[in-house]
Structure 1
Amino acid sequence: MQKGDENMKALLKKEPNGYTAVFERKLKHPREDIWAMLTDNNQLKKWFPELQAEDLKNGGKFKFDMGDGSFEEMEILGFEKPAILEYTWGDDIVRFELNELKGGTELILIEKISKITDHTPRDLAGWHVCLNVIGRLLDGVKGGSRKEEWENWYEEYKAATETLKQ
């Protein structure tokens, strides 16, 4: 991961039919390695253990372990290996775009948010930390406390979403 990327907050924007949050990371790794982090269950469990790919294709699904024995299914809306992965996320949509760069890959995560709720800053902080963890895993760097990192970003995104709602 390029220095400073993990400290870049998502760009939040009000849209005609909701909001978008755009996260960008430049990673010094091949697109295929990052694709595997997003789609291979052995890699997914390293950074998002609750998430599992079930059927990797348009119309396929991911499953989210709710931690209480139940699972939420999320439909895959866009699947172009190894460039685009898009799926439902509750009432929202999450889209990963992988663009080849000289010496690496640009990872863009776009969350299309239907409405700002109390849970929105939690998700945004979660995605922020997850992207940082992906970068550290690929770099072979041990990370610090995810919980502490999440708490710091939660406060940032809570303030940002409050401003956005005004």
Structure 2
Amino acid sequence: MRAEIIQVEYGYTATFERRFVQSPDQMWAMLTENEKLQSWFPELRVEKLEEGGSLSFRMGDGTTDSLAITDFQDGKVLAFEWAEDEVRFELEEEGSGTKLWLIEFISRFTPHTARDLAGWHVCLNVIQALLDDKAIERKQEWEREYPEYARLIDSMGVTFD
């Protein structure tokens, strides 16, 4: 399921909602334990897991950016800076499984926004595949999703600064 994008007072939110049969503890480990985190987002690494702590993002050019953790509730919420924006994961127990929200708070659309949204979509698909012990072709998934997110943003009549 694709993200729901809505305009809010300070910009936009893109909300992905997924359900997993795995427990909240298993899902939290996928988000916060570096070995598991890097299996679905190899450029990202937890440095200090607490509010005010940080993650590091290894850029394609070999440099590293520090992403401040802006909200943290152990086992439930992990939010961090994402350039000028914020990415937030929320977990909720649902029966024996987990309901997960990934919310990107977007201050303004840029030519890169559709790429990011397609990337988050694919990351969630990769998490699901890893947990289900199934193969997934990340590039093929992204190539399918990116045009859809580009169309969605275009349909909102967005202009770039």
Answer whether TM exceeds 0.5 for this pair: yes
Aligned partners of 2:91 and 2:154: how far apart in 1?
30
Task: Please give the per-residue CA displacement for 1:60-108, whole angstroms capped at 9, x wherever unaligned.
Answer: 0000000222111110011111000000000010000000001200010
1:3 alignment partner in structure 2: none
- Whether the 8 Å contact between 1:116 and 1:165 is mirrored in structure 2 is no
2:144 alignment partner in structure 1: 152
Runs (5+) with no aligned partner, structure 1: 1-7
CA-CA distance at 1:136 after TM superposition: 1.1
Matched letter for residue 156 of structure 1 = E
Aligned partners of 2:131 and 2:27: how far apart in 1?
8
2:104 alignment partner in structure 1: 111
TM-score, scaled to structure 1: 0.93
Aligned partners of 1:165 and 1:76: how far apart in 2?
32
- Whether the 8 Å contact between 1:13 and 1:164 is mirrored in structure 2 is no
- Whether the 8 Å contact between 1:14 and 1:164 is mirrored in structure 2 is no
Does residue 47 in structure 1 map to residue 70 in structure 2? no
Matched letter for residue 59 of structure 2 = M
Task: Determine which of 76, 100, 111 is the counterpart of 2:69.
Answer: 76
Trace 1:121-132 onto structure 2 (pairs within 5 A). Answer: 121-132=114-125
1:164 alignment partner in structure 2: 156
TM-score, scaled to structure 2: 0.96
Trace 1:14-33 onto structure 2 (pairs within 5 A). Answer: 14-33=7-26
CA-CA distance at 1:156 after TM superposition: 0.3
2:128 alignment partner in structure 1: 135
Aligned partners of 2:69 and 2:60: how far apart in 1?
22
Matched letter for residue 87 of structure 2 = V
SS across alignment from 1:105:
strand
Matched letter for residue 158 of structure 1 = A
Matched letter for residue 26 of structure 1 = R
1:86 alignment partner in structure 2: 79
Task: Please give the per-residue CA displacement for 1:99-137, whole angstroms capped at 9, x wherever unaligned.
Answer: 000120001000000101110000000000000110111
2:55 alignment partner in structure 1: 62
RMSD over equivalenced CA pairs, Å: 0.8
Runs of 4+ in 1 over 3 A off after TM superposition: none
Percent identical? 48
